[in-house]
Structure 1
Amino acid sequence: MKVAYVCADVGIPVFGQKGCAIHVQEIIRSFLAKNIEISLFTPRLGEKKPCDFEKINIYPLPPIPKVEKGEREKIALSINSDLDSLLTLTQPFDFIYERYSLWSYAGVEFAQKRGIPSILEVNAPLIIEQDRHRGLVHRQEAEKIAQRVFESATVIIAVSKEIKSYVSQYVSNPEKITVIPNGVNAQRFSDDVIKNSHKESNYRFTVGFVGSLKPWHGLPILIDSFARFNRDYPESRLLIVGDGAEKDFLVENVEQRQLQSAVQFVGAVSPDMIPYWLGKMDVGVAPYPSLDNFYFSPLKVYEYMAAGLPVIASNIGQIKELIEDGVDGLLCEAGDSLALTNALITLARSHLLRDKLGTSARAKILSHYTWNKVVDKILACVEQSRLRIKEGNS
């Protein structure tokens, strides 16, 4: 089987360390594990190609120069002709798999013209995100493309129910939207990896966070909660693994609270190193603030749980469906820093509770939420789509 994987979003370095890049890599990796031949089409490769990706065919799309925002949007839109030409030159494909981006439609329309399935993966309401956080000059054009690409795709994979609801407004047939949450790479969290992770000799109870340092991840809430917790547990520490636009603000926040000796900013690390850093933590935290229409399928939560960590997370969106409070994690009201502090104290006091929650969480994730299982569901969608296309042509 041969698939064209299209990631036309210039904001995603497909071989990078961001959560979106990890998602791309793990879907590709799981396709490869099923002996599917991958041709990757992207304008931005990012870092060095992973060693297990040697067999994939890479077809670079034109890079987008750093010019005025509106001009960048027009250039991104023009890449559709390049993508169509490359797909035409490198065909045939059994199906097209594309990660939705603001300006790309050529992949799904290529599939539509040739009577093959197209699977469109949607991870976020990009028009809303772009307009709110980075600015969107040609919003009306982006809305038209969303309508065009969502309608043309054979199957749409939404990572959460909230994303499905968002996409439904653009399509005439919402039944073609399937919700498939994110997962973990089970090999990275194997029994051997977990057994070999160990705390340092100068052990301190460690609260941990992994992810990009962005406003919607609730790091100020975490720092506020930890400051209160640290007063009662002065030997504790907070480990923040990741980087992003909020780092300077967060560092200043820590300094103002005189917590420099208790808070460590690790910076961005490669996906392979995530289990190592999780192994240094006693609890993983996802302190999301109260957000309207929380649409995330948080990789950090799945990976905390896969590592056997007890998790404290906001009772919001998909998280409250994934975690059963008191069984495989603890849930707090979103944005409630005092509730988060109390949850930290509860876990600090009971090693038995930490073990119970972590063991249950790990079992749930490895049984139901791995990337291989995600791709099994995707391939089932491909097969159903293929049958529908065949029936429609007969």
Structure 2
Amino acid sequence: MRILMAGTFSFPEGGDGASRALHMQAKGLAQAGHEVLVAVCCGTLEGRKSDLDGFKVKSFVSSSKDRKGMVAPFFWIYGQLGMLLYLLYVTLARRFDTIIYYGAAPVFAIAAVAGKFLKRHTCVVEGDLMAVRWQKLLFNSEEILARNVSLIIVGGSSVLEQHFTKIAPNTKCLRLWPPTDTDYFGSGSSIRARKKLNLSDAPLIVYAGAISKLEGVDVLIESMKYVIEKCPEAKLIIAGPIVEHDAIIGKPLDYKGLVEELGLAGVVFFTGKLLMPEVADLLAAANVLVNPKVEHPANWVAAPIKIGEYLASGSPIVTTSVCELEVWLSDRRDVLFCKAGDSVELAKGICDILTDTVLSDQLSRQGVIASRRVCDFRVWGIKVIEAIEMDKGGQMRTLPKKMPLGRNW
């Protein structure tokens, strides 16, 4: 099958979680034995046509430091226009068996309308809700897109699934966990991370991700007051950037000030944003990984990508069940669940793992199994292909290979 995946952000670097997710989705489809082309407005690889992880990448604008400031809007418009014209062309020419749009960009809505009129098979991958203000500004492209594609692939909670069922009741919907490269995050080096941190023997509690009250990082820091009472040698490592606009309080909390205020200097350490190889090493070095997300409407929709990466590392996890994690994972088998926003209960969960080797080993072993069952990019690719084939009547009508993907793309 020839598949086009389209995104309007920078790729493969940039776009944060969206870029990582699109990368894994394309890799999963390619691993399933299909020809995949990722078309993006802005590419960060050398040249506008490249090969990456078994699939091809096409961009309309190459990322460059020179394309900032006053000229940036021109290149943004050029990239968007190039994407729209290309999508209309390949839709009309029937170059692909299916087109998968990532997100609800206006150019995708226009292309999807054309695709439905021409009876082409199209899908959209959605991992979050579009803000109301953007819906109004962008002529509600999300609803137009959802009503004109053949299949919606949801990477989040039932709230997101119900949203699309409501705005596009006649479009089929498939709910999957966002894909993760379980091989990559399962290959980190604990020794390398501990050597870099100069903490060879201390029990390490690790959080990796955006730093904000929405993520519950302040609750995690507060929990360390109780953890060190029972496990005085424990250290907390927080890796990631501080979010400039916190969804709960608007501005960033002074996390380092909070550490000082609680008397946790020498216990809590901030590494800043790490490269992916460093993240994999840090996850492998952890005695406990923590996902302390709090209950808040902004956390009810998008599935936390970090959970798949945590599970794949083989380190035991304490997590809240925010975003319906209990649907995918079992308490005290795959992860240890704790109450959101409760620093005392979070500390108890951390200490349970640090002091109970049987529980720790169980969570480590079953977590890896769960990552391959639920989060692996290959599983995502297989399930999406199955859904596309079922949507097309169980028999995939592959186009005659007049034009292999390797040429004229």
- Length-normalised TM-score, structure 1: 0.83
Structure-2 change in CA distance of 1:370 and 1:53 (3 Å): closer
Structure-2 change in CA distance of 1:326 and 1:46 (3 Å): same
Is 1:290–2:295 an aligned residue pair?
Answer: yes
Aligned AA for 1:278? L
Question: Is the CA contact 1:329–1:357 (under 8 Å) kept in the aligned structure 2?
Answer: yes
Identity %: 15
Q: Deviations over 1:185-218 (max 9, x none)?
A: 132145xx36x64465731111111112244211
After the TM superposition, which residues 5-154 of structure 1 pair with which residues of structure 2 at under 5 Å, given as runs? Answer: 5-8=5-8, 10=9, 13-16=11-14, 18-46=16-44, 52-53=52-53, 56-60=56-60, 81-89=81-89, 92-104=95-107, 105-128=109-132, 136=133, 139-142=135-138, 144-154=140-150
Is 1:344–2:344 an aligned residue pair?
Answer: no
CA distance in 2 between counterparts of 1:78 and 1:126 reads 24
CA distance in 2 between counterparts of 1:274 and 1:62 reads 27
> What residue in structure 2 maps to residue 2 of structure 1?
2
Unmatched 5+ stretches in structure 2: 245-251, 398-409
Q: Deviations over 1:209-235 (max 9, x none)?
A: 111224421111111112332344332
Question: Cα offset for 1:272?
Answer: 3.8
Question: Cα offset for 1:157?
Answer: 0.5
After the TM superposition, which residues 372-391 of structure 1 pair with which residues of structure 2 at under 5 Å, given as runs? Answer: 372-387=378-393
Aligned AA for 1:204? A
How many equivalent pairs are there? 373
CA distance in 2 between counterparts of 1:219 and 1:82 reads 41
CA distance in 1 between counterparts of 2:387 and 2:315 reads 33
| More displaced 10-residue stretch of structure 1: 50-59 or 33-42 | 50-59
Question: Cα offset for 1:149?
Answer: 0.6
Structure-2 change in CA distance of 1:288 and 1:177 (3 Å): same
Taking only aligned residues, the RMSD between alpha carbons, in angstroms, comes to 3.3
CA distance in 1 between counterparts of 2:270 and 2:46 reads 24
| More displaced 10-residue stretch of structure 1: 84-93 or 50-59 | 50-59
| More displaced 10-residue stretch of structure 1: 286-295 or 155-164 | 286-295
CA distance in 1 between counterparts of 2:395 and 2:139 reads 27
Question: Is the CA contact 1:295–1:318 (under 8 Å) kept in the aligned structure 2?
Answer: no
> What residue in structure 1 maps to residue 224 of structure 2?
226
CA distance in 2 between counterparts of 1:228 and 1:368 reads 33
Q: Deviations over 1:2-21 (max 9, x none)?
A: 2221112x4x6542483222
> What residue in structure 2 maps to residue 132 of structure 1?
none
Question: Cα offset for 1:66?
Answer: 7.0
> What residue in structure 1 maps to residue 168 of structure 2?
171
Unmatched 5+ stretches in structure 1: 129-135
Structure-2 change in CA distance of 1:232 and 1:390 (3 Å): closer
| More displaced 10-residue stretch of structure 1: 28-37 or 236-245 | 28-37
Structure-2 change in CA distance of 1:62 and 1:81 (3 Å): farther
CA distance in 2 between counterparts of 1:384 and 1:294 reads 30
**Higher RCO (CA 8 Å, separation ≥ 6 residues):** 2
> Aligned to 1:181, which of 177, 180, 189?
177
